[in-house]
Structure 1
Amino acid sequence: MSKDFDFSVTPFSHLSSAERGKLSAAVDIAYFKTNDTPLKPGQALDHLMLVIKGLLAEKNGDELVTVHGQGDLFGASALINDTKSLSCEVQEEALVYLIPRQMMLDLCRSNSAFEAFFTSSLSERLAARANAESARGMASFMVAKVGQAYLHPPLFVPGSCTLRDAAVLMKKEKATSLLVTAADGRVGVLSGSDMRDHAIIQGKPLETPVESCATYGTITVDQDEFLFNAQVLMTRYNIRRLPVLRDGNIIGVLELIDLLGYMSSHSHLVAVQVDRAQTLDELRVASEALGPLLQGLHGSGVKIRFIAEMVTDLSRKIQRKLFEMLIPPELAGKCCLMVMGSEGRGEQIAKTDQDNALIIADDIDPDSVRDLCRQYTEAMISFGYPPCSGNMMVSNPEWSKTESQFRDDIYHWMLTPGEKAFLNLAAFIDGEAVAGDPLLLYRLRSYLFQRLTDNQGFLSHFARPVNSFDTPIGFFHQLVMDKDHKGEIDIKKGGIFPIVHGVRALALEKHLTCTSTFSRIEALGQEGIFDTDFAANLVEAFQFLMEIRLQGRLSKGQLSGEGADNFVRADDLSKFQQDALKDSLLLVKQFKQLLTHHFKLAAF
C-alpha cells in the first residue's frame, strides 16, 4: 500500500474518492535493477506498472515498441486485452508502482473516463485535451470586465435633432445607435430599429425631433462590472446594447454582437475595425489587434485549426482592404492578388513573412502596376508583416507578372526541376486568391494539373524534401534535442514540414484544389490514400504540433514572423504534452515511411 500515490497523473485524476481509496489500498511498489526483465515474452501480465523513476523498454517480440520513463504507464493494453506478446526490459534501474490487473479491470468497468484513456486513439486523446482546455477558456470569460470588450464610441445628439439628421449621422459614423440628450437632462437610446418603427411603421415625418422617439430609463452597466453580468442584463431585459459608465458618465456603448465577439476571442472586433478603416493608418491599427487576438485565443479551448483559419481570414481581409485602397478601379478586375505559404494554406498563427504574388491580365503592362506593388509591400511591412527572405512578394517583378508569363514559369519549373523551381512551385500550389479576379489563378492551376498528368518521376523528385530533416525522436523513443539549441526541438523541421510537404505532394498527384493541409488530409482519406484512423490521427498530430509551436512563440514573445523561430523547449512542456509530442513524432516517422514507399524515395 502506498499513501503517496499521485492521483494528479492522468488517467488516475478521473477516479472518484472511493475509487482512489480502493486503489491506494491495492497498489504496491517494486524495485528493478538494470537488465532485469519484469515481463518475459509469453508471460501473462499481472500488474500495470507506473514508473516512479528509471527506464523500462517495452518490446513486441524483438521489436522495440517504446521506452517508458517517469510518470509513464507500462502494459495497459496487454493488461486490459489479456495479450501475452509484450515483454519488458529495465534499461535503467527503476522504481515502479504495481497496480493489480483485477483492480484495473474493476476501475475500467466502473469509470468510463478512466477506461477511455486506455482505449482511445491518438486523435481521441488529443481531442479530449482540447475539450478540457475549453473549460479554461470559458473561465477566463467569466472573470473578464466590461471595459475589456469593444465599446462603441458614444454619439450624443440633442433631443431637437431630427430623424433625418440622426439617420445621416448614423450612416456617416457607421453607428447602430445614438444617445439622445432630452431637454430635461435625461439620456435615452435611439437605435436603428427605433428609427424604422417611428419613420416607416408609424409614418412620422423625417423632421420629427428624436427626443420623442428615443427610449429612456435605459439600463446601464459600469465598465468594471463583470462581462457575464452584462450578458445577463441583456438577456433579462431583452436588449441588444448597454451604455457603459465610468464615474457615472457614459464612455461607450456595449452591443450584444461585440459581447458575443469577445466570447469568441475578439475576432468580430478586428473584422469590424477592418471594415470601417478608411485610411492606411486606420487599417494599420486594425492589424495591430491580431497579436492580442492570438494571445486571447491561445489556451481558450479553441482548436488550433480554427485559430489558424480565423487569423488567416482576418489577415486576408486586411490585405484585401489594402489592395482595394491602392489599386485604381479600372485595374481591380484585371489582376488577382494571391497569398501563398502558411497564409495560402489557412495555417497562419502569427504575422508571418509576406508570401504573395500578383497575376495580371495579359492585356495589361506589368510595369504599370510596379508602383502599386511597391506601396503594397511597404504598407504590409508597416503593418508588422516582415518581408519574405526569398523575396516572394508583389514588389519583386518575378512575382508580379501576366497570366501568360506565370504559365511560362510553371512550364520551366517542371521542365528544369531544381531546388528553386520546387520552392516556387510549392508556394504557388498553396496559393489562394485574396482580391481581384480569381479566375486568373484558377486557370493557371488547371494548366499545372494538365502538365502533371502521367509525370510520376517529377512528383517523386518533388516529394523528396520530406526526408531532408531527421524526425527528433530516438531509437528508444526519447525526444532528441537540437545540437545547436540546447534543450530545444525544431518543431517545424522535425514534424510540421514533413506533414505539410508530404500532404502537398500527394494532393498535387491527385489534382486536389484545396490548399489547407487539414482539408488535403481529409480529401486524401476519401481518395483511399489514408485509412480513416490514420487520417484522423494525422490531423490531430498536425494540430498538436502547430499548437506547441504557437505556445513556444508566445512564451518567447515572438508573435511577429520577424525573428520568430520554430524551437520548443522540452522542459516547458507538460508530461501530457511530452507524451503527445512523442506520439505525434512517431506518427510523422510512419508518414514519412508511407511517402518513401509511395513515391519510391529510397531510389534516390
Structure 2
Amino acid sequence: MGTFDFGGPPFDALTPSERDKLQGGVDIAYFKQGERLTGPDRPGEALFVILKGLVAERDGDDLLTVHGAGDCVGAMALLHGAPPHVSEAQEETIAHVLPRQLVLDLCRANPRFERFFATSLGDRLAAHAQTQQVRGMAGFMVARVQEAYLHPPLTVPASTSLRSAAVLMKEHRATSLLVEAEDGRLGVLSGSDLRDAVFIRDLAPTAPVGVCATFRTVFVEADDFLFSAQILMTRHGIRRLPVRRDGKIIGVLEMIDLLGHMSSHAHLVAQRVDRAQSIDDLAGAARALEPLVQGMNGSGVPVRDVARLVSDLSRKLQTKLFALLVAETAPDLAEGMSCLVVMGSEGRGEQLTKTDQDNALILRDGGDPVAVRGLCQRFTEAMVSFGYPLCPGAMMVSNPAWTQDETAFRHDLLGWITQPSETGFLNLAAFLDAEAVAGDVNLLAGLKNEVFERLRGNNAFLSLFARPVLAFDTPIGFFHQLVVDRSEAGGGLDVKKGGIFPVVHGVRALALEYGVTETNTFDRIKALNALGRLEDTVAADLGEALQALMTLRLARAGREGADTRIEAGALSKAQHDALRDALLVVKRFKALLSHHFHLGAF
C-alpha cells in the first residue's frame, strides 16, 4: 500500500510512535467517478486522505468545498458526530483510509493533531498559522515576559524626596522606582529622571519625586510575549515596563534584559531614529528597516505584529524627519499649528515593506500653506531617498492638494461626499485610514468626526463607497480551486487585489457606516464584532484570513520587493491550503457585503 506521507499538516504533528501506529492501521481505497466516500448511506466510520483525484463535498445542493491531493475528507462526521455531508468523487480517486478508532486514538493522544480538524475556515487558518509559527519561531520569539529577568518592584509614595529615592535606588542597585500618587496612579522614576531633576531642572534634593516621575505608565502582562513588550517599548520610546499579573505589579522589565532574549534589532532602529541629528542620520536608520523585515520573514512572529512594528518604526522616522525640517526650514511654524498624517497601509499599521508615500499636512486655519511648500518638498524628497517611492496618485505633502488648512480640507471632504467619484472614493478611503504622527492630533480627529457625522444614515453613499470590493475577482473557482494566470511561470495570482483589498476596504466601509474610528483592519473587525455588526464566526474568519494573506504577502515581499503577485505553483501544500481557505473567506465576505450594501443594484 506504500508509505503514508507525514510531511503535511496535521500528520506532521504526530510523534514517531504515533506515526508507526497510523502506518500499521491505514488502508487504501479506489473510487470511481460519481462514487461516494461519505453520505447518509455511508456514516462517518473512516477518515479519507486523498492521494489522487478530486472529491466534491456538498450539503444538499450547496457545494461546500472541493478536496484534492493531501486533503482530508469526512473529519466532521467522524470526530464531531455531525451528519455526514455527501462527498463524491469527481474523477477517479485514490485515498488512504484511516479507521475511526485509529483517528480517535490519535486525537486523544495528540492535541495539535486534534485541533487541526476544526469546524470553521477561520479555525483552520489559525491552525495553519500556528503550525508555521511553531516551525519558524526560535525560542526567544516564543518567550514570555515572565521568563525574562524582572527587577523587583520598588514602590515609593509620590511625596518621597529625591534624596531618599536616590539612596533607595543605590541600596537596591535599582535603575528605577515605581511612584504611587495619592489618587492611586502609578508612575515610573528612572535614574536619568533623578539626574535631570537635580542638574537640569535645579530641583532641591528635598523636592518630592512626584514632580518628576512619569505617570503615563505603559504596562505589560507577565504572560505576554517578549516580542509584544518590544513593540510597546519601540512604539512609546521607553526603556522599562512595569509587569502585571492578575492586576498586581510583580516586577519591572528593562530593555537590557529584554535584549537578552531577543535577536530582532528593532530597538536599534528606533534608537538611531531618536538620536538622529540630520537627514543623513535618518537615512542610515531607514536602511536598517529592510534587513529587519527580512529577518522577521519566516520567523514565526504573527504577521500583524510584524506589520505594527514596521509601521511604528516608519511613523517614528517621519516624525523625526518632520521635526528636523521644521527646525531647519520653517522655524516659525508654531507647535500645534499643524498635523502631519500618514495614510494607506502605514496609517492602518499594516505596512510590510517601504510602500508608496501616502501623507498629508493639515494646517490650523490661519496657517499659510505656501509658506511650508519648501518644507513639504524636502520631506517628500527625503522619503524617496529613504526608499519610499513617490505615490502614483501624488497623495503626498509635496502636492498642494494634500497640504492645506482645515477649511480647505473640510471643503474637499464635502466634495468627495456630495459629488461621488472614483477619485473621491480613493481620497476618502485614504483619509479614513489616516493617523497623526506629528503636531496637533485634534486637527485630524476633528475632520474625521465631521465625516462620520455627515455620513450617518447616508446609505446611498455608503453603498457607492463599498462598491469597489467587487472591482477585482477573487481568484478561486467554482470547485474551490485557485484561479491563476497561466501566462505566468508558476501561475500568477494577485493576493492583494483578489484577497487583501476586499477585506480591508469592506471592513473600512462597515467601520464608516457604524462610526468605528479605529484605523487598523484587525482593530476595526474587533470593534465591529463588539458592536454586534459582525458575527463572531465572521469576525474570527476575517481576522485569520487577512493574517494568512498578509503572511503570504510578507514572504513575497521578502524575496521580490513590492510585487503583489505570487506564484501558486511555488507554494507548499500548507501554503496552498491556507491561501485557498483564506480566499474562500474573502469570497463569502464579498457576498455578505454585496447583500448588506445592495451592491447588486448597480
* Band the TM-score falls in, shorter-chain normalisation: 0.7 to 0.9
Show the counterpart of 1:454: 457
Matched, 1:358 2:336: no
1:488 to 483, 489, 492: 492
Shift in Å, 1:138: 5.0
TM-score by length of 1: 0.77
Conserved 8 A contact 2:125-2:582: no
The CA deviation string for residues 1-36 of structure 1, in whole angstroms up to 9 with x for no partner, is x45112233222333333333322221111223333
Matched, 1:55 2:34: no
Matched, 1:330 2:324: no
CA–CA distance in structure 1, aligned partners of residues 442 and 276 of structure 2: 28
Conserved 8 A contact 1:261-1:269: no
Matched, 1:431 2:430: no
CA–CA distance in structure 2, aligned partners of residues 262 and 470 of structure 1: 44
Q: Which amino acid aligns with 1:593?
A: A
Show the counterpart of 1:445: 448
Label 1:131 to 1:102 Cα distance change in 2 as closer, same or farther (>3 A): closer
2:581 to 577, 583, 603: 583
Matched, 1:517 2:521: yes
Shift in Å, 1:133: 4.2
Matched, 1:23 2:22: yes
Show the counterpart of 2:596: 598
Conserved 8 A contact 1:44-1:83: no
Conserved 8 A contact 1:41-1:61: no
Q: How many residues align?
A: 493
Show the counterpart of 1:465: 468
Conserved 8 A contact 1:137-1:301: yes
The CA deviation string for residues 409-455 of structure 1, in whole angstroms up to 9 with x for no partner, is 01111110010111111111111111111111111111111211221
CA–CA distance in structure 2, aligned partners of residues 324 and 4 of structure 1: 65
1:229-268 aligned at under 5 Å gives the runs: 257=256, 260=259, 263=262, 265-268=264-267
Q: Which amino acid aligns with 2:542?
A: L
Conserved 8 A contact 2:353-2:557: no
1:368 to 371, 374, 378: 371
Structure 2, gaps ≥5 residues long? 142-174, 176-190, 200-238, 240-253
Q: Which amino acid aligns with 2:361?
A: L
The CA deviation string for residues 127-173 of structure 1, in whole angstroms up to 9 with x for no partner, is 4444444455554879xxxxxxxxxxxxxxxxxxxxxxxxxxxxxxx
Shift in Å, 1:337: 0.6
Structure 1, gaps ≥5 residues long? 143-175, 177-191, 201-239, 241-254, 559-563
1:474 to 472, 477, 485: 477
Show the counterpart of 1:33: 32
1:525-564 aligned at under 5 Å gives the runs: 525-556=529-560, 558=561, 564=562
Shift in Å, 1:66: 1.3
Conserved 8 A contact 1:55-1:68: yes
CA–CA distance in structure 2, aligned partners of residues 139 and 121 of structure 1: 29
Percent of pairs with identical residues: 56
Show the counterpart of 2:243: none
CA–CA distance in structure 1, aligned partners of residues 21 and 534 of structure 2: 43
3-state SS of 2:413 partner = helix
Label 1:82 to 1:496 Cα distance change in 2 as closer, same or farther (>3 A): same
1:142-291 aligned at under 5 Å gives the runs: 257=256, 260=259, 263=262, 265-291=264-290
CA–CA distance in structure 2, aligned partners of residues 282 and 4 of structure 1: 59
Matched, 1:379 2:382: yes
Deviates more, 1:258-267 or 1:328-337: 258-267
Instruction: Quote the RMSD (CA, aligned, Å).
Output: 2.5
Conserved 8 A contact 1:351-1:384: yes
Deviates more, 1:42-51 or 1:569-578: 42-51
Conserved 8 A contact 1:353-1:385: yes
Deviates more, 1:306-315 or 1:50-59: 50-59
Q: Which amino acid aligns with 2:404?
A: K
Matched, 1:507 2:511: yes
Q: Which amino acid aligns with 1:586?
A: L
TM-score by length of 2: 0.78
3-state SS of 2:97 partner = strand
Show the counterpart of 1:312: 311
Show the counterpart of 2:104: 105
CA–CA distance in structure 2, aligned partners of residues 398 and 483 of structure 1: 41
Show the counterpart of 1:172: none
Matched, 1:302 2:306: no
Label 1:495 to 1:462 Cα distance change in 2 as closer, same or farther (>3 A): same
CA–CA distance in structure 1, aligned partners of residues 55 and 598 of structure 2: 36
Q: Which amino acid aligns with 2:547?
A: Q
CA–CA distance in structure 2, aligned partners of residues 517 and 583 of structure 1: 19
CA–CA distance in structure 2, aligned partners of residues 130 and 265 of structure 1: 21
CA–CA distance in structure 1, aligned partners of residues 590 and 374 of structure 2: 44
Conserved 8 A contact 2:76-2:119: no
Label 1:383 to 1:435 Cα distance change in 2 as closer, same or farther (>3 A): same
- Rg larger in 1 or in 2? 1
The CA deviation string for residues 173-212 of structure 1, in whole angstroms up to 9 with x for no partner, is xxx9xxxxxxxxxxxxxxx99x98xx99xxxxxxxxxxxx
Matched, 1:86 2:89: no
3-state SS of 2:92 partner = strand
Show the counterpart of 1:145: none
3-state SS of 1:45 partner = coil
3-state SS of 1:119 partner = coil
Shift in Å, 1:508: 0.5
Show the counterpart of 1:574: 572
The CA deviation string for residues 219-239 of structure 1, in whole angstroms up to 9 with x for no partner, is xxxxxxxxxxxxxxxxxxxxx
Label 1:47 to 1:426 Cα distance change in 2 as closer, same or farther (>3 A): same
The CA deviation string for residues 441-475 of structure 1, in whole angstroms up to 9 with x for no partner, is 11111111121122111001100011111111111
Deviates more, 1:318-327 or 1:441-450: 441-450
3-state SS of 2:332 partner = helix
Show the counterpart of 1:409: 412
